[in-house]
Amino acid sequence: MGAFFDGIKQVLGWFLGVFYDVVPNYGIAIIMLTILINLVLFPLTLKQTRSTRAFQTIQPEIKRLQAKYKDEPQALQAEMMKIQKEAGATPGGCLIPLLVQMPIWFALFRVLRGAATAETISDSGIPASSKLYQHLVEGGGHFLGMDLGFHPADVYASDGLVSTIPYLVLIALMVGVQFVQQWHAQPRDGRPQDKQAQQMQTITKFMPLFIGFISWSFPAGLTLYWATSNIFRLGQQALIFRLDGRPAPPPPKDESKESPTEGPESRPTRPQASSKKKQRRRRG
């Protein structure tokens, strides 16, 4: 497994050096590498998005089958596989793209972390003969007032708040774009009806803040990668919605089941009063 990650790291480091040769700026090279990675992964991202949407679409049918075959697990499994296949909601469609992307993310993390300092650059995968390698060894790596190898926390501790402002702006950009992406992905009719879906949505809303928090202790080059990825994925998401349409809103709740006290059939009767009248008539 280590050799596998090292191979991906070498490929990413090589591309980073090539992009620096094209545009001799470390920050621009990271942005170009991020765009390349997202372009290569776009077919998998599209497949993952469509499979996830298909699973969401068939949720009402799955709940109906679960109620119908609650005592027949084998029949339930067969029926669920059938409707999943018909809708194109195969589990592999959601999981396989994610499994393919994870090694790339981890390898890129190692590339950018290794390139952060002259002491660790030999482990970054960037070719030692490249101009970028020499540039980083000589203390380069500056972009828009930031040293992309530095942690914002270290900059704040050594140079104060004013020097940390560009790093904070980059973190704010990354977090803000991720919030916009989440908002853009939601159906336009409000909150989901299912409680579990509501809980997942609440957790998801806190993820950008969590990533922004941990970015405080990561090299700024990684934050630049995340910010660029978020912007690119927002564009991808808009393109997917243009191709496939926006996600369908969740089905409305069955109010007759949720509010048994409403409606003429559910109005309370008075059996005790009627029985007392009958008793009085019998006595009379």
pLDDT, one tens digit per residue, over 220-250 is 888 898 899 889 888 888 887 787 666 655 5
Query: Do the beta carbons of residue 135 and residue 28 sit within 8 Å?
Result: no
**Rg of the chain over all Cα atoms, to the nearest angstrom:** 28
| Lowest pLDDT segment from 96-110, 197-211, 268-282 | 268-282
Of the candidates 226, 141, 125, the one whose C-alpha atom is nearest the C-alpha of residue 175 is 226
| Lowest pLDDT segment from 35-44, 113-122, 214-223 | 113-122
pLDDT of residue 99 exceeding 70, the answer is: yes
pLDDT of residue 15 exceeding 90, the answer is: yes
Predicted confidence at residue 249, as pLDDT, reads: 56
Predicted confidence at residue 41, as pLDDT, reads: 84
Tokens representing 225 are 């990668």
Query: Do the beta carbons of residue 25 and residue 131 sit within 8 Å?
Result: no
pTM beyond 0.75: no
Residues in the chain: 284
Tokens representing 35 are 């765009």
| Lowest pLDDT segment from 225-239, 244-258, 265-279 | 265-279
Predicted confidence at residue 16, as pLDDT, reads: 92
Tokens representing 202 are 């609440």
How many angstroms separate the CA atoms of 62 and 68, rounded? 10
Predicted confidence at residue 269, as pLDDT, reads: 44
Name the one residue in this structure whose structure tokens are 């299912």.
194
3-state secondary structure of 253: coil
